[in-house]
């Protein structure tokens, strides 16, 4: 059966875009999580019409397709389908930037458009608009992360909030245009999210209800003035007061987009690999070694970063407001602007003394994180995947944690933005991680004024069976204990999807009914966020 379908696929997209040989499939099997799936073939269409034809053939023969945009999805499963024997539908060839509206500040992109591509497009044409990159890096798509409801720091950081207008190929081959997009004369498809009638876009995020072939994304006009705010607390005890202060500032609207609070260990894993020698091969990282590394790099117990932008007067007022609100609550508060960054680069040692920071060690990270908030894609956050990797990043040019066999699983629960909840949450996760020989490397991302998304990377040596087993057991325990306490992940991976979708719950019943209605032959991504 599959053979027949694959020959039909070859007729539609051509031989060179229907991959079945093991060497071509290698990149699609590469992953940072332990779970491995069987991938019989990959098809690479170049148009919506080809997708429609592929879907109709697949439906007629009960074969499933798993759409990916760039297929990186680090730490959640990469390009692998949720179930075995699903053909990967690689949409990477559909990589046109269909429109950029400079006046109304949005872009319309196909699935294969990467963060770097959109950034370069804006730069080359001197279009004064900024995108919001993710920590996943320049080679990742705009569309995949939006469908996963991911986020970055800086303006328009909640990517699904900034998405407007979608085109979707359903499992029947029909094309759906959401919002105002289904009105032939619509002039506001990418300007007004809700359209008229039921709001459908959400159905196609974190789901398997359709193949999304284009989306509109809102961009940010380059501001007159931009500043990044960096804060440091040297002691753990300060976090309790810092959280309500940050919440208050977010409610005032002085930051543009999410603020990140990074635990000391999170900064350490971004700055280098595991100190195997110093630790004599033992794990997890001991407190004396962690403290010594942190002291050397002048990293605090907690380290915060957020973006401020607007007119000169707005930025000046925001800085004053932040300084007032955080007085006595942080040990260091630094605002970085283009001019200041320039000076830091010219006189790193002098500024180390003035700012009480280790500028030579931190300059690259500061520069990249600053750039990301201004819309410049960067690998700065992605390097953490290499923490326990015994080899260095292998690939020249851009880094690829899946091909480099890094061990990374993300656990990302949502926590109310109160000190009590953060403390209760930490008291659950820290003993579990320690028991499994893993470090607690959390970032608390204030995705809105009311809650944090806690991104916790579970980092392990994928070549060590012991570490792999520990990481898996640790994930299962974290997921279970946190869910019972009310701290539920905002996003699931191949390693965690069935933990939720198999539950006896009306929610998943309704999802199943929607799936049957929209994709009766079950073509699209079986098992993905559904039973
Ligand atoms: P990225 O490479 O940007 O990290 P992916 O392409 O891996 O993102 O997409 C993340 C996940 O989102 C995929 O595993 C897939 O299930 C889903 N997805 C991606 N693109 C589409 C699409 N065009 N239509 C439907 N689902 C998609």
Q: Is 67 in the pocket of ligand 1 (CB under 6 A)?
A: yes
Query: Would you state the pLDDT for residue 104?
Result: 98
CA distance 88 to 286: 42
**What DSSP string describes 4-53?**
HHHHHHHHHH-GGGEE-SHHHHHHHH--SSS-------EE---SHHHHHH
pLDDT digits (tens, 9 = 90+) for 152-209: 988 999 999 999 999 999 999 999 999 999 999 999 999 999 999 999 999 999 999 9
Q: Is 382 in the pocket of ligand 1 (CB under 6 A)?
A: no
CA distance 27 to 76: 15
144, 204, 206, 493: which to mutate for ligand 1, most atoms within 8 A of CB?
144
What are the structure tokens assigned to 95, written together? 């990589």
Q: Is 140 in the pocket of ligand 1 (CB under 6 A)?
A: yes
Cis peptide before 284 (omega within 30 of 0): yes
Residue ranges of the chain with per-residue pLDDT less than 50: none
Distance 158 CA to ligand 1 centre (A): 17
Query: Would you state the pLDDT for residue 518?
Result: 98
Q: Is 72 in the pocket of ligand 1 (CB under 6 A)?
A: yes
> If you take atom 5 of ligand 1, which residue's CA is the nearest one?
71
Pairing of strands 302-310, 259-263: antiparallel
Residue 405 gets which letter from DSSP? Answer: T
Query: Would you state the pLDDT for residue 200?
Result: 98
In 3D space, the residue among 323, 342, 161 whose CA is nearest the CA of residue 245 turns out to be 323
Query: Would you state the pLDDT for residue 359?
Result: 85
> If you take atom 4 of ligand 1, which residue's CA is the nearest one?
73
Largest CA distance in the chain: 70
Nearest ligand 1 atom, CA 71: 7
Sheet of 87-90: strand order equals 18-19, 42-43, 87-90, 65-68
**What DSSP string describes 299-346?**
--SEEEEEEEEESHHHHHHHHHHHHHHHTTT-SEEEEE-HHHHHHHHH
What residues have CB less than 8 Å from 126, skipping those under 6 apart? none
> If you take atom 10 of ligand 1, which residue's CA is the nearest one?
144
Q: Are 133 and 113 in contact (CB under 8 A)?
A: no
Q: Is 70 in the pocket of ligand 1 (CB under 6 A)?
A: yes
Q: Are 58 and 523 in contact (CB under 8 A)?
A: yes
In 3D space, the residue among 168, 211, 207, 210 whose CA is nearest the CA of residue 511 turns out to be 207
Pairing of strands 414-416, 451-460: antiparallel
Nearest ligand 1 atom, CA 141: 3
The CA distances from residue 392 to 26, 295, 379, 456, in Å, are: 20, 24, 15, 22
DSSP3 helix / strand / coil % (the chain, rounded to 5): 40, 20, 45
> Whose structure tokens read 């999210």?
193
> Whose structure tokens read 């720091």?
153
Distance 372 CA to ligand 1 centre (A): 22
Distance 493 CA to ligand 1 centre (A): 12
147, 168, 204: which to mutate for ligand 1, most atoms within 8 A of CB?
147
In 3D space, the residue among 303, 287, 269 whose CA is nearest the CA of residue 460 turns out to be 269
H helices within 141-286, ranges in order?
A: 142-147, 239-252, 264-271
Q: Is the pTM of this model over 0.95?
A: yes
């Amino acid at each position: 059966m599959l053979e027949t379908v694959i020959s039909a696929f070859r007729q539609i997209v051509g031989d060179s875009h229907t991959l079945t040989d093991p060497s071509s499939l290698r990149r699609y099997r590469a992953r940072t999580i332990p779970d491995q799936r069987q991938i019989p073939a990959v098809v690479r269409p170049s148009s919506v019409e080809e997708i429609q034809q592929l879907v109709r053939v697949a439906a007629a023969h009960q074969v499933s397709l798993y759409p990916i945009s760039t297929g990186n999805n680090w730490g959640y499963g990469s390009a692998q389908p949720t179930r075995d024997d699903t053909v990967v539908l690689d949409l990477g060839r559909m990589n046109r930037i269909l429109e950029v509206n400079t006046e109304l500040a949005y872009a319309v992109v196909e699935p294969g458009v990467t963060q770097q591509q959109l950034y370069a497009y804006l730069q080359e044409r001197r279009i004064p608009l900024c995108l919001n990159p993710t920590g996943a890096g320049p080679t990742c798509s705009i569309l995949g992360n939006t469908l996963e409801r991911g986020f970055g720091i800086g303006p328009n950081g909640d990517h699904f909030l900034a998405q407007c207008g979608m085109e979707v190929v359903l499992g029947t081959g029909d094309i759906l245009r959401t919002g105002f997009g289904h009105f032939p004369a619509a002039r506001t498809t990418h300007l007004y999210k809700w359209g008229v009638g039921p709001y459908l876009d959400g159905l196609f995020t974190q789901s398997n209800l359709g193949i999304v072939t284009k989306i509109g994304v809102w961009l940010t006009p380059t501001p007159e003035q931009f500043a990044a705010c960096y804060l440091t607390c040297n002691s753990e005890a300060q976090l309790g007061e810092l959280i309500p202060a940050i919440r208050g500032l977010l409610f005032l609207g002085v930051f543009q987009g999410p603020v990140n609070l990074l635990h000391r260990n999170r900064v350490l894993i971004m700055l280098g690999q595991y100190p195997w020698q110093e630790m004599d091969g033992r794990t997890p990282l001991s407190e004396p070694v962690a403290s010594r590394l942190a002291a050397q790099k002048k990293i605090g117990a907690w380290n915060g970063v957020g973006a401020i932008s607007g007119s000169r007067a707005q930025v000046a007022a925001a800085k004053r407001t932040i300084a007032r609100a955080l007085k006595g609550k942080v040990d260091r508060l630094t605002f970085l602007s283009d001019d200041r960054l320039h000076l830091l680069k010219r006189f790193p040692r002098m500024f180390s003394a003035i700012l009480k920071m280790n500028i030579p060690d931190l300059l690259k990270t500061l520069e990249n994180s600053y750039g990301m908030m201004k819309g410049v894609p960067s690998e700065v956050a992605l390097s953490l995947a290499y923490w326990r990797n015994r080899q260095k990043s292998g690939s020249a040019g851009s880094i690829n944690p899946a091909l480099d066999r890094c061990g990374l699983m993300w656990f990302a629960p949502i926590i109310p933005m109160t000190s009590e909840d953060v403390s209760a949450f930490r008291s659950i996760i820290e003993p579990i991680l320690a028991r499994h020989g893993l470090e607690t490397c959390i970032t608390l991302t204030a995705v809105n004024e009311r809650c944090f998304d806690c991104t916790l990377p579970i980092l392990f040596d994928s070549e060590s069976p012991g570490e792999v087993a520990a990481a898996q057991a640790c994930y299962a325990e974290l997921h279970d204990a946190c869910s019972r306490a009310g701290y539920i992940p905002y996003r699931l991976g191949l390693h965690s999807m069935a933990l939720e979708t198999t539950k006896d719950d009306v929610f998943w019943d309704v999802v199943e009914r929607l799936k049957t209605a929209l994709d009766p032959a079950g073509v699209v991504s079986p098992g993905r966020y559904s039973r």
